[in-house]
């Protein structure tokens, strides 16, 4: 029975070392198993798709040009309105100054 224990102890130690080595090797394998997604080849589009994309790009460019024209028009209208508003405010201020002057004259005349 004494002879059995040294062999079983060696076997147990050997099994433990193998198990630990197996655990260590599994983690390194997981790092190596990286999934790489490759992009689709660029020539996979049909000519119909390319034509549709080209037409959509032209439509987008035209719409952007129209929006820029409208933006410039609105900016000009805003500046014109601000200028008109400033002119009206100057006229109101001038009329208020005339009104104050006329009221002061009537008070002095009494």
Tens digit of each residue's pLDDT (9 = 90 or more) over 82-109: 999 999 999 999 999 999 999 998 888 7
Cα three-residue angle 70-76-78, rounded to 5 degrees: 100
pTM over 0.85: no
- Structural tokens at position 91: 């006229």
Tens digit of each residue's pLDDT (9 = 90 or more) over 39-55: 666 667 788 999 999 99
- Structural tokens at position 55: 């037409």
Work out whether the CA dihedral 41, 46, 47, 51 comes out positive or negative.
negative
Question: 36: helix, coil or strand?
Answer: coil
- From the list 37, 35, 14, 33, the residue with the least C-alpha distance to 25 is 33
């Amino acid at each position: 029975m004494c002879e059995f224990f040294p062999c079983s102890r060696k076997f147990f130690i050997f099994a433990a070392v193998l198990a630990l080595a197996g655990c260590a090797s599994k983690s390194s394998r997981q790092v190596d198993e990286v999934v790489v997604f490759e992009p689709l080849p660029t020539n996979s589009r049909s000519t119909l798709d390319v034509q549709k994309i080209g037409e959509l790009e032209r439509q987008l460019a035209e719409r952007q040009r129209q929006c820029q024209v409208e933006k410039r028009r609105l900016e000009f209208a805003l500046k014109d309105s601000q200028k008109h508003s400033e002119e009206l405010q100057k006229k109101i201020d001038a009329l208020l100054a005339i009104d104050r002057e006329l009221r002061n004259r009537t008070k002095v005349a009494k």
